């Protein structure tokens, strides 16, 4: 905990993160989010580049990855065209899709940061969304621009956000339509593993698109760099601040990475060594600071 506080301690408040603070954080628009991470991570806003978008999908049943289409305008998740998160994973009981900057736009975005010799990481938000369930969750894509590697950081500790939402309907379809034709998942644990694997496969497919223009960025599966599913977004049974701090902890971990420049597996392991009370103290204090600084 001492090492974390030596880097993050100056970005904490001693107050209790009440519902007003929490609502500000979890309902912030993309422009607000980008303003915060551009300041904390010292990186250029993605809105300052010329943006074009791609849609990719992967089948839940046969794991087939497809590049579906290109678009000059992304009408994604948000209250208006200027409010949209540029990168969103959406899930149904048939496919998982990725709406994101296309390869050329992402390369332009990354290239802005190569001139900073002191920089190691570029981080940007990736929203998980399930429109049919009226639910969303915040994660972070981390690109190590020194070692040309990419990671997906889920503050819940695994890429399992969609598991409970779709497992029952998918299992039922497997017993009927897909039995003996496609993969037949006989247990929840097998299906849960497949969801994690599919999101990794979707991200891996996206970054393999870069190789088509001669750029190598290797996506590292979540199970390789965080095999113990170390969780950032865990407030235990706290009745003081409750749950649902995926936005705050996503911002916090990206901030910690950019400050320390640790290897990402070493960075996540720093959070393995803290107690539940210490994690609660960290989440609460950082969330209060975000609200007081950026409200």
Segments making up each domain of the chain, as ranges:
27-264
Confidence at residue 170, expressed as pLDDT on a 0 to 100 scale? 54
Q: Distance between CA atoms of 126 and 129, rounded to whole angstroms?
A: 10
Taking the CA atoms of 78, 283, 118 and 264 in sequence, report the sign of the dihedral they define.
Answer: negative
- Here the tokens at position 55 are 């849609």
Confidence at residue 125, expressed as pLDDT on a 0 to 100 scale? 92
- The closest alpha carbon to 284, from 6, 16, 3, belongs to 16
Orientation angle between helical segments 276-294 and 246-260, nearest 10 degrees: 90
Please provide residue 48's backbone torsions phi and psi, each rounded to the nearest 5 degrees: -90, 0
Neighbours of 175 (CB within 10 A): 12
Confidence at residue 227, expressed as pLDDT on a 0 to 100 scale? 92
Residues with Cβ within 8 Å of residue 142, at least 6 apart in sequence: 121, 122, 123, 150, 151, 152, 153, 254, 257, 264
Confidence at residue 79, expressed as pLDDT on a 0 to 100 scale? 33
Confidence at residue 80, expressed as pLDDT on a 0 to 100 scale? 36
Confidence at residue 176, expressed as pLDDT on a 0 to 100 scale? 44
Confidence (pTM): 0.86
Confidence at residue 208, expressed as pLDDT on a 0 to 100 scale? 96
Beta strands in 145-212 (DSSP E): 149-153
Please identify which residue in the block is written with the tokens 């760099």. Answer: 225
Residues with Cβ within 8 Å of residue 195, at least 6 apart in sequence: 159, 160, 162, 163, 166, 167
Q: Distance between CA atoms of 21 and 287, rounded to whole angstroms?
A: 7
Confidence at residue 136, expressed as pLDDT on a 0 to 100 scale? 79
**β-pair partners for 88:** 99, 127
Confidence at residue 12, expressed as pLDDT on a 0 to 100 scale? 92
Low-confidence ranges of the chain (pLDDT < 50): 75-82, 174-182, 184-189, 193, 239
Confidence at residue 139, expressed as pLDDT on a 0 to 100 scale? 93
Q: Distance between CA atoms of 85 and 239, rounded to whole angstroms?
A: 31
- Max Cα distance, the chain (Å): 58
Confidence at residue 168, expressed as pLDDT on a 0 to 100 scale? 55
Residues with Cβ within 8 Å of residue 215, at least 6 apart in sequence: 103, 107
CA atoms within 13 A on the CB side of 252: 31
């Amino acid at each position: 905990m001492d090492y974390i506080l030596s880097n993050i301690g100056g970005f904490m408040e001693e107050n209790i993160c009440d519902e007003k603070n929490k609502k500000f954080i979890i309902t912030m628009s993309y422009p607000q989010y980008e303003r915060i991470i551009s300041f904390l991570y010292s990186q250029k806003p993605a809105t300052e580049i010329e943006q074009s978008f791609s849609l990719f999908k992967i089948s839940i049943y046969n794991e087939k990855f497809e590049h579906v289409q290109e678009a000059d305008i992304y009408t994604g998740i948000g209250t208006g065209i200027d409010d949209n998160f540029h990168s969103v994973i959406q899930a149904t009981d048939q496919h998982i899709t990725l709406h994101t900057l296309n390869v050329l736009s992402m390369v332009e975005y990354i290239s802005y940061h190569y001139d900073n010799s002191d920089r190691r990481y570029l981080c940007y938000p990736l929203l998980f969304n399930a429109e049919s369930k009226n639910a969303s969750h915040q994660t972070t894509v981390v690109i190590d621009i020194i070692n040309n590697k990419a990671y997906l950081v889920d503050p819940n500790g695994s890429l399992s956000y969609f598991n409970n939402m779709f497992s029952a309907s998918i299992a039922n379809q497997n017993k009927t339509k897909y039995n003996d034709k496609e993969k037949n998942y006989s247990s929840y644990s097998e299906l849960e593993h497949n969801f994690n694997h599919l999101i990794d496969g979707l991200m891996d497919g996206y970054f393999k698109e870069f190789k088509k223009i001669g750029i190598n960025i290797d996506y590292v599966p979540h199970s390789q760099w965080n095999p113990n599913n170390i969780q950032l977004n865990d407030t235990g049974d706290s009745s003081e601040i409750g749950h649902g701090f995926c936005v705050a902890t996503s911002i916090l971990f990206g901030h910690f990475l950019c400050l320390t420049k640790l290897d990402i597996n070493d960075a996540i392991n720093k959070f393995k060594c803290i107690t539940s009370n210490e994690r609660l103290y960290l989440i609460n204090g950082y969330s209060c600071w975000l609200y007081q600084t950026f409200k």
